[in-house]
Amino acid sequence: MGLEDLSLLEWLTLVEHELLLFAGFFFLIGALDEFAIDATWGWLRLTGRARSWRIDRAEGRSRPLAGQVAVMIPAWLEHEVITATIAYTLRAWPQEALRIYVGCYRNDPLTAEAILRGTGRDPRLRLVVHDREGPTTKADCLNRLYMAMVQDEQRSRSRFRLVVLHDAEDMVDPAALALLDRAVDEAEFIQLPVLPEPQRQSRWIGSHYCEEFAEAHGKAMVVREALSAGLPAAGVGCGFSREMLGRIADEMGGAGPFSVESLTEDYELGLRIKAAGGRSRFLRVRGDDGRLVATRACFPARLDAAVRQKARWVHGIALQGWDRLGWGGGIGESWMRLRDRRGPLSALVLFSAYLLLVVGTILWVANELGLRESQPFDAVIRWLVAANAISFAWRAAARFSFTAREYGALEGLRAVLRIPIANVITIMAGRRALFAYARTLGGAEAKWDKTFHHAHPTTNTTPAAGAPVAGAAH
């Protein structure tokens, strides 16, 4: 009997079989990859190489800086959150050697006014108005801030020691600045963890970033550093040696160290520093109160915004990264870059799995109605299903564990329940990224899909011990 003679249900049975093979095989490959990361992390924990050390938060906040530090914050249409960010940062970091450069655009007066409202007339803040119409790209705004810093260095005949990046919606950790200032003696790039805030008004979308960063910055980045692979910068809570940024800027023609052609200039900068021979460190440090020294922020709470943000990450890291950065380095570096670039394939495999769920449901209903006879799966299919079921249980347990460690058991349970929603967001983001990348291959300019922020952690959480209270006088 030829394919043209198959009935609709027979066609669906064939499709189910092929989807089971496709999704089952690639899920198993992904499971082996994750198990290798888990095993490496477990070994690092057993040998004490992945242990978080502790600091005195009060001492860290008051510790004088070893040299001048520049904090750069690019902003476009951030008037809803930037006032809280600036005011909190100035209170959290009282060191006199700090300079905060906040960039906005000449056609964004609301953000400029909001920045000035947060200063409390503190002379350590400098507002830099871009001479271009916004929005351009985050990298372009950062390069404008970098040039403003260089001009200040020339006027003062002194040089900054450390450059720190943050976003307009961030709540910094009071102990972070002194920690970065100390670590730059040993590395040209330092990344602190990022902790998304659980959002009561968006338990299922805005809060799903919690488990993703808990695992990425609690395990994957630790393994990456141990393998001596390049560390990607998160764009927030990251510090760079001033000398290294100058070298990168010179290599790129002197306009600045940030790649304006890239949608993920922070990720690319971290890998470029490694390629230039720079040392990178990922610091997991806890205060004497047990809380992680990390940057906290409220991530997108709406589905469309979350998809847009993640599509930009997939486009910039997985697709542009392949074009712009290649596969240089040893086995560890290649493994990490392969993991970075699995986003489009993950989206396709997840879509296949959800399509399989639909097809399987239709065939089950047909069986119950007596429209077809149930046929047992062959041994390969049964083995794939069993292996992937065990793998899913392991992944769910790991997700619960890492999330519960930072947010508590209840949020850990929610993290497991959010897995289907996170998968749907991944599928939608992968599709959006592929279409956007295809347009660039046709000659279109890569578009920066701006993430707009409407909530700030100072209104969503209680500050860590030793942190200034939001709204307190400077």
- Each residue's pLDDT tens digit in the chain (474 positions)? 565 667 888 899 999 999 999 999 999 999 999 999 999 999 999 999 888 889 999 888 889 999 999 999 999 999 999 999 999 999 999 999 999 999 999 999 999 999 999 998 999 999 999 999 988 999 999 999 999 999 999 999 999 999 999 999 999 999 999 999 999 999 999 999 999 999 999 999 999 999 999 999 999 999 999 999 999 999 999 999 999 999 999 999 888 999 998 999 999 999 999 999 999 999 999 999 999 999 999 999 999 999 999 999 999 999 999 989 998 788 999 999 999 999 999 999 999 999 999 999 999 999 988 888 878 888 999 999 999 999 999 999 999 999 999 999 999 999 999 999 999 999 999 999 999 999 988 887 766 677 888 888 887 643 333 333 333 332
Same domain, 348 and 324: no
Structural domain contains residue 446: no
Structural domain contains residue 45: no
Same domain, 223 and 75: yes
Residue 452: predicted pLDDT? 82
Same domain, 357 and 327: no
Q: Give 417-425's long-range contacts (Cβ < 8 A, gap of 24+).
A: 418/204, 418/207, 418/208, 418/211, 421/204, 421/205, 421/208, 422/208, 422/211, 422/212, 423/350, 423/353, 423/354, 424/354, 425/205, 425/208, 425/303, 425/306, 425/307, 425/310
Structural domain contains residue 466: no
In 3-state terms, what secondary structure has residue 198?
coil
In 3-state terms, what secondary structure has residue 180?
helix
Same domain, 304 and 369: no
Same domain, 273 and 377: no
Same domain, 276 and 312: yes
Torsions phi, psi for 292 (to 5 deg): -70, 135
CB contact at 8 A, 270 and 231: yes
CA 275/CA 270 separation, integer angstroms:
9
CA 83/CA 127 separation, integer angstroms:
13
Structural domain contains residue 336: no
CA 22/CA 336 separation, integer angstroms:
24
DSSP 325-362: HTT-SSHHHHHHHHHHT-HHHHHHHHHHHHHHHHHHHH
Same domain, 159 and 191: yes
Beta bridge partners of 280: 189
Residue 446: predicted pLDDT? 65
CA 254, 259, 265, 271 torsion: positive or negative?
Answer: negative
Domain boundaries, position 118: 53-331+453-459
CB contact at 8 A, 44 and 222: yes
Structural domain contains residue 448: no
Structural domain contains residue 470: no
Same domain, 347 and 311: no
pTM of this structure: 0.92
Same domain, 15 and 87: no
Place of tokens 């047909």: 366
CA 430/CA 203 separation, integer angstroms:
22
Structural domain contains residue 169: yes
Same domain, 159 and 57: yes
Same domain, 59 and 127: yes
The count of structural domains within the chain is 2
Q: 10 Å Cβ neighbour count for 117?
A: 14
Cβ neighbours of residue 94 closer than 8 Å, sequence gap 6 or more: 61, 62
93: domain CATH number is: 3.90.550.10
Same domain, 235 and 260: yes
Nearest to 72 by CA among 147, 153, 184: 147
Structural domain contains residue 117: yes
Residue 453: predicted pLDDT? 84
Cβ neighbours of residue 110 closer than 8 Å, sequence gap 6 or more: 77, 79
Nearest to 144 by CA among 56, 41, 74, 225: 74
CA 9/CA 31 separation, integer angstroms:
32
